[in-house]
Structure 1
Amino acid sequence: MQRELTPGDLLDGRGRLAEAGWARSEVRRYDRDAVAASRLRIKEWDYYCVLTPEYGLALTVADNGYMGLLGVSWLDLTGRTEVTENVMLPFPMGRMGLPAGADAGDVLASHKDLRIEYRHVDGGRVLSVDHPGFDGGRGLSGELRLDRPPTDRMVVATPFTGAPKAFYYNQKINCLPATGEITVGGRAFAFDPATAFGVFDWGRGVWTYDNTWYWGSASGLVDGRPFGFNIGHGFGDTSAATENMLFVDGCGHKLDEVTFHLPADTYDGADWTFTSNDGRFEMTFAPVLDRAASTDLKVLASIQHQVFGRFTGHVVLDDGSRLEVRDLLGFAEKVRNRW
């Protein structure tokens, strides 16, 4: 079952999810003050990943209640290397001021020598980063503009079984053409909107303590047409809606269930495969680079494998037409958090 959300407030008068389901736009209004759970349990983040065929940039600003995070990742897809640096901020509990929606409100975050900004501009948004100490003093800085053409997005409101105060409200906006330049170690890397595309992951919610999720995303051109997808599972009660969705020429095509088949004991060796219960998403994924990170403090832990690579296979659109996909750049990940 895929239940489409109706407009209204995200949470009811008791601070619980008013309706579970999916949408093509931000139809439900999130209000942090309406959340019933402790401020220590509220999790909010804005994450961008922008990829070209040779390199990419990922930026994270997150307020997870008892811990905030500013993250910068530089991805060398040709050399199959990456550098990720995170700054942890103790007990922000809303002071980072992340917006209540994905379409308005700027994000301005800094700590010591690291600054990350997301600003809305006419027809898009601008990402700015300045990190002089990145990678042992090599430094990383620059600015990217992500155009925002008219397009559907993936929106999902998900409850958690047995935890009435818990919920996840998530938006993924794919196929954002990127223009600009990032300088790393004194070398400038250009982002051309013909080959550089970003995805925006906007998340707000109250999570249960121990979760393992799977997420996959890709954006680019297929037969000259803007094409992308969002797939995932593993958290919450998805009986009302999954987060699986295709985007072609700005139009969203809703999918049901997609299963990730990971190779045993490796993340960036053998190919991954993806299958769907209705045959509408069938892919193999050839890994290029595993952005792995592991923090284990026993009570708190995060074990992450975000693997970048290329998808090949086919999808079936809502009208029954079949679209062949070959070597589309994107990523797939498995993350376990105790938080």
Structure 2
Amino acid sequence: MAQQTESHESSRLDAVERHGYLFGHPIAHSLSPLLHQTIYDGIGLPWSQFPLDSTDMALFLRLREDPRFYGASVTMPHKVAILPHLDGLTPEGSAVGAVNTLFIRTDPETGKRLYMGTNTDVIGIRDSFYANVSDPDTSFHGRPALVVGGGGAARSAVYALRTWMKASKVYLVNRDRAEVRAVIEECTARGYGDDLIDVSTVSQAQELEGVGAIVACVPNFSPKTETEKEARAVLECFLQKSHKGAILEMCYHPSPWTEIAEISQKEDWKVILGTEAMIYQGLEQDKYWTGKTVEQMPVKKVMEVIAAKLSEARL
């Protein structure tokens, strides 16, 4: 049976000129292979990205040796675990301390293949705002920003907000204080942790200046515990302040329209769906892999295909 599986896999790879992988677990719901296939078809490249639903790092390291391998999307639980197996990092990969993209370069002196890592999640966050907000100066430049959550996406959001989006400070809202401390400590150690503020209560939020950009990095759920209810109430306090900006709701599975998106829209905020961040980070990945610019890629077609897929999933 294993031989049959390997034979089937080999025939799939032989059907394309070059191939990559989506490496992670679980990944059954991921739209990454569809997104990249749409791009390759649109620019006439006989390439494909194949899902590799696995926690076996040794297997992936063997597979990447194939001369036809062009790179990989790396997702949980491998974003940090992959770091020791890379030859170098971009500034974004180094600053965030996690990699979602493996790409290949050649050592000019030795001709040796170099496995490089970057983090395009930060680009996805940044580009989602600038593609959807017509006047960033009025909306979020020079204002405090807000990040909801305490995981890897929260760190990427802090990096994007402080590095490119001119946030004067970043408020962190989360049910777990230890997670917030970890984010602050890690961002500080990596050089972009100034003016990160843990906002843990509504009374504290009421005293603070309103925000212009919000990035929500938590799953879609109704708050149940006291700490979850307090975190949601803190977010709502900021949404209700007089200045209305834009919120990026990173959660898009199983549906991109979440409780937080609904609440934000009712409070007159510009809502940016998480599929936008996913698409823009994917376009950035293909810049590394194909050498093409985003302007050369079928962006409109990608957006249509992803929207259709999500709509189909909701039926």
Q: Which has the higher contact order (CA 8 A, sep 6+)?
A: 2
Q: Which has the larger radius of gyration?
A: 2
TM over 0.5: no
TM-score (norm 2): 0.29
Q: Relative to total residues, which structure has the larger strand share, 1 or 2? A: 1
